[in-house]
């Protein structure tokens, strides 16, 4: 997301990144305690392809046969679920458009914002080429899904793959919550919490492209820009013709503001106060949450498994977590129960520093060592 981090420099390699060669779906696995599978190292455009740290040990946390099975893409879950989500959103839009009840209208706006989380997590699958078997279909869905949000998909994709390569390290473009707790750190942290979509618009449409794009990325960017302009022109023209511009903008944009709040809570909770520069397993939080969030947010809450093996599609992440559970518990990786609890804690504590993260990690370790109370 929005980053104040410096860009990658040759030879500047964080812990938890190993050498890679071959295709996106290669089977070699870096030690997941500090690394990730090959898909998180699929380089974004203009990012160095071969970053090596040969001293890393390697092992598989799950059997290769199991991993290959979990990585197998299936059409049925998405063919059913994507149209279902779009249908629900169309129904909610109709309800907001036609009702005279403020309660129903605003409830529909909140629900639409919630459903946008589902569409965006599908888009997120597209960044890893795990939504559809054909790469072009992942690109097409991602680009189209981001048009109403007015965010550039190719920028999100490249930023996100960098995040996976450099998770919770100085090179992580999403580690904007980490700093020195200066004035600007506080402004950025709380601005994202309450208006993340505005910062995302600025970051993905302007700052990241200027800093990182090459010719290929700029070409895709321009295509996306044309599509977004065409979308806005068509929507506004229709609204002006029918004298419903204010109503149209409200039904379009208000749900996106609610989506922004949901997304900020999710985004911050996934890594806040997890160990710094310790790789994928320790630097990621799984939130068990509840079946509703898991269903409508496409299991994004099972986040440790996703960071270890990004090539595993959303519908296999629960099973992946079960297979990794012993290692997760043994390593002391962070698993919490509630997005709300983690997000509220983050709002109370504010921006991170390495020292504060270390203190939080030590506190969790001491709590884990305490014997469970016994009944007498």
Judged against a pLDDT cut of 50, whether residue 8 lies above it is answered with no
Q: In terms of pLDDT, which residue wins out, 243 or 43? A: 243
pLDDT at 248: 98
Q: In terms of pLDDT, which residue wins out, 57 or 281? A: 281
Rg of the chain over all Cα atoms, to the nearest angstrom: 21
Give me the residue label for tokens 């506004």: 236
pLDDT in tens, 141-159: 999 999 999 999 999 999 9
Nearest to 116 by CA among 261, 218, 16, 255: 255
Judged against a pLDDT cut of 60, whether residue 65 lies above it is answered with yes
Q: In terms of pLDDT, which residue wins out, 38 or 80? A: 80
On whether the CB atoms of residues 36 and 18 are closer than 8 A, the answer is no
Angstrom distances, CA of residue 119 to CA of 85, 146, 208: 8, 9, 23
Q: How confident is the model at residue 61 (pLDDT cuts 50, 70, 90)?
A: confident
Q: Which helix (H) or strand (E) holds 287?
A: strand 285-287
Q: How far apart are CA 65 and CA 63, in angstroms?
A: 5
Q: How confident is the model at residue 198 (pLDDT cuts 50, 70, 90)?
A: very high
Q: How far apart are CA 324 and CA 60, in angstroms?
A: 11
DSSP string over 151-216: --HHHHHHHHHHHHHTTTSTT-TT-TTBS---HHHHHHHHHHHHHHHHHHHHIIIIIHHHHH--HH
- Tell me which DSSP letter residue 335 carries: E
pLDDT at 365: 83
On whether the CB atoms of residues 286 and 303 are closer than 8 A, the answer is yes
Residue 1 has which token pair? 């997301």
Look over the chain and give the mean of its residue pLDDT values, rounded to a whole number.
Answer: 86
On whether the CB atoms of residues 48 and 10 are closer than 8 A, the answer is yes
- Tell me which DSSP letter residue 43 carries: P
Residue 192 has which token pair? 């994202």
Task: Centre a 10 Å sphere on the Cβ of residue 103 and count the other Cβ atoms it contains.
Answer: 8
pLDDT at 374: 61
DSSP string over 229-246: HHHHHHHHHHHHHTT-HH
pLDDT in tens, 97-153: 999 999 999 999 999 999 999 999 999 999 999 999 999 999 999 999 999 999 999
- Tell me which DSSP letter residue 325 carries: H
pLDDT at 369: 73
Q: How far apart are CA 299 and CA 289, in angstroms?
A: 10
Judged against a pLDDT cut of 60, whether residue 194 lies above it is answered with yes
pLDDT at 251: 98
On whether the CB atoms of residues 1 and 200 are closer than 8 A, the answer is yes
Q: Residue 204 burial (CB < 10 Å; 0-12/13-18/19+)?
A: buried
Segments in 30-127 forming alpha helices (H): 64-70, 76-98, 102-127
Judged against a pLDDT cut of 60, whether residue 6 lies above it is answered with no
pLDDT at 256: 98
pLDDT at 58: 32
Q: How far apart are CA 280 and CA 166, in angstroms?
A: 9
- Tell me which DSSP letter residue 16 carries: T
Judged against a pLDDT cut of 60, whether residue 49 lies above it is answered with no
Q: How confident is the model at residue 372 (pLDDT cuts 50, 70, 90)?
A: low
pLDDT in tens, 242-281: 999 999 999 999 999 999 999 999 999 999 999 999 999 9
On whether the CB atoms of residues 35 and 159 are closer than 8 A, the answer is no
Judged against a pLDDT cut of 90, whether residue 17 lies above it is answered with no
């Amino acid at each position: 997301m929005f980053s104040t981090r410096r860009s990658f420099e040759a030879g500047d390699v964080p812990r938890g990144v190993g050498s890679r060669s071959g295709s996106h779906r290669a089977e070699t696995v870096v030690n997941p305690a500090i690394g990730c599978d090959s898909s998180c190292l699929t380089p974004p455009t203009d990012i160095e392809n071969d970053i090596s740290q040969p001293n890393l040990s390697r092992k598989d946390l799950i059997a290769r046969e199991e991993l290959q099975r979990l990585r197998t893409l299936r059409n049925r879950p998405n063919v059913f679920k994507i149209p279902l989500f779009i249908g629900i959103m169309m129904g909610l839009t109709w309800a907001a458009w036609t009702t005279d009840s403020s309660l129903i209208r605003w409830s529909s706006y909140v629900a639409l914002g919630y459903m946008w989380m589902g569409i965006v997590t599908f888009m997120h699958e597209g960044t890893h080429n795990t939504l559809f078997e054909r790469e072009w279909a992942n690109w097409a869905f991602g680009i189209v899904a981001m048009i109403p949000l007015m965010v550039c998909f190719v920028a999100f994709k490249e930023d996100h793959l960098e995040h996976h390569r450099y998770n919770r390290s100085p090179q992580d473009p999403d580690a904007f919550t980490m700093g020195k707790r200066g004035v600007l750190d506080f402004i950025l942290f709380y601005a994202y919490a309450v208006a993340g979509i505005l910062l995302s618009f600025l970051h993905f449409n302007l700052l990241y492209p200027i800093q990182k794009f090459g010719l290929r990325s700029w070409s895709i960017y321009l295509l996306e820009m044309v599509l977004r302009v065409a979308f806005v022109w068509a929507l506004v023209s229709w609204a002006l013709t029918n004298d419903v511009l204010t109503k149209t903008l409200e039904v379009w944009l208000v749900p996106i503001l609610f989506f922004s709040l949901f997304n900020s809570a999710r985004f911050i909770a996934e890594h806040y106060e997890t160990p710094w520069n310790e790789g994928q397993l320790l630097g990621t939080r799984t939130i068990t949450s509840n079946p509703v969030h898991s269903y409508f947010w496409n299991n994004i809450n099972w986040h440790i498994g996703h960071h270890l093996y990004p090539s595993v599609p959303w519908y296999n992440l629960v099973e992946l977590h079960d297979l990794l559970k012993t290692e997760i518990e043994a390593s002391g990786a962070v698993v919490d129960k509630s997005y709300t609890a983690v997000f509220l804690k983050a709002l109370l504590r504010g921006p991170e520093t390495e020292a504060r993260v270390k203190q939080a990690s030590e506190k969790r370790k001491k709590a884990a060592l305490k014997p469970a109370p016994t009944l007498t």
